[in-house]
Amino acid sequence: MKNYNLDETHIYRFDPKERQIALETEDVHVWYGDNEAIKGVSLQFEKNKITSLIGPSGCGKSTYLRSLNRMNDEIDNTRVTGKIIYANTDINSSAIDVYEMRKHIGMVFQRPNPFSKSIYENITFALKQHGMKDKNQLDEIVETSLKQAALWDQVKDELNKSALALSGGQQQRLCIARAIAMKPDILLLDEPASALDPISTSKVEETLINLKENYTIAIVTHNMQQASRISDYTAFFYMGKVMEYDKTRKIFTRPKIQSTEDYVSGHFG
Ligand SMILES: Nc1ncnc2c1ncn2[C@@H]1O[C@H](COP(=O)(O)OP(=O)(O)OP(=O)(O)O)[C@@H](O)[C@H]1O
């Protein structure tokens, strides 16, 4: 294993006058008990763009992603410090209504995890929990979300069918539809295509590219081609830090840091 200089980093910063920042973290640290998994990450996520989080296994990508909508709160013995700024508010503050915040910052997990309910109910379940009762309104959201997730044409005649009868790729697009039904601003995805075959993967990628018109997306991926195909920005994580953050094109063609270059060219370690 090469000895990479962990102090040599390159973090691209936006000028907020030129680019709209949808979400920003300042010096975020995450501990699992005594293990400091994230060691001071400050990143900006540009509105209506896709940002990929890449890096070797165990470097903290998922931990960082989960901190962006406080999913680490659900894990015992976890501590998160630093600021996570969304809409001029630090959502890492104890005063935040986490349930409410997650309506704005939604998440899709690695394995498709539809509820054991119909396709229709998968999308309407959380909306009903939030008090929405109007059938026409619910129908409309089901249709719009499934269209945005590029699944409507395949399922529109069988909305009462069990979601578990869909293929893996369709289930994952249903999970994306379920997340966007809440009309979040930001969509966090943790390796959403890793359990899918290449055709389903390319459908999910197409879906994400179309979604960025309306959403800001952060995605953890192990797939370098995927990061370079779909994302506008890429952050390279290593040992709980971001070593390099820049436009995706730069990360993959002219990285500034040796560890990034080795990682993206497959010569890491
Ligand atoms: N629920 C947890 N409890 C305790 N430690 C955890 C937990 N989840 C992650 N960790 C630890 O935090 C560190 C970062 O893990 P994380 O899963 O965030 O990395 P990752 O880059 O997403 O890895 P991978 O690419 O393998 O999914 C690792 O040392 C891991 O063991």
What CATH number does the domain containing 211 carry? 3.40.50.300
Q: What is the pLDDT of residue 79?
A: 97
Give the position of tokens 């995450």.
30
Give yes or no for residue 178 CB within 6 A of ligand 1: no
Is 4 part of a structural domain of the chain?
no
Residue 227 lies in a domain: yes
On whether the CB atoms of residues 86 and 23 are closer than 8 A, the answer is yes
State the helix-helix crossing angle for 198-211 and 168-181, rounded to 10 degrees. 20
pLDDT at site 22: 97
> Best of 62, 221, 263 to mutate for ligand 1, by most ligand atoms within 8 A of CB?
62
Helix 119-129 × helix 135-148 angle, to 10°: 120
> Which structural domain, as residue segments, surrounds residue 146?
10-264
Task: Say if ligand 1 is within 6 A of residue 58 CB.
Answer: yes
- So what's the pLDDT on residue 1? 66
Distance CA 196, CA 93 (A): 36
Quote the pTM value. Answer: 0.94
Q: Is residue 64 part of a domain?
A: yes
Ligand 1 pocket member 62 (CB < 6 A): yes
* 157 within domain boundaries: yes
Distance (Å, rounded) from C-alpha 115 to C-alpha 117?
Answer: 5
Determine the straight-line distance between the first and last CA of the chain, rounded to whole angstroms.
Answer: 4
In a domain, 247, yes or no: yes
CA distances from 173 to 60, 73, 90, 139 (A): 25, 26, 30, 18
- The token duo for 177 is 């539809």
According to the model, what pLDDT value does residue 191 have? 92
The answer to whether residue 5 is domain-embedded is: no
Q: Is residue 209 part of a domain?
A: yes
Which atom from ligand 1 is nearest to the alpha carbon of 62?
A: 22
Domains identified in the chain, total number:
1
- The dihedral built from the CA positions of residue 53, 54, 59 and 61, taken in this order, carries a sign that is positive
- Please report the pLDDT score of residue 178 as a whole number: 95
User: Which residue's C-alpha comes closest to atom 12 of ligand 1?
Assistant: 37
Position 214 in a domain: yes
Positions of the chain with pLDDT lower than 70, given as ranges: 1
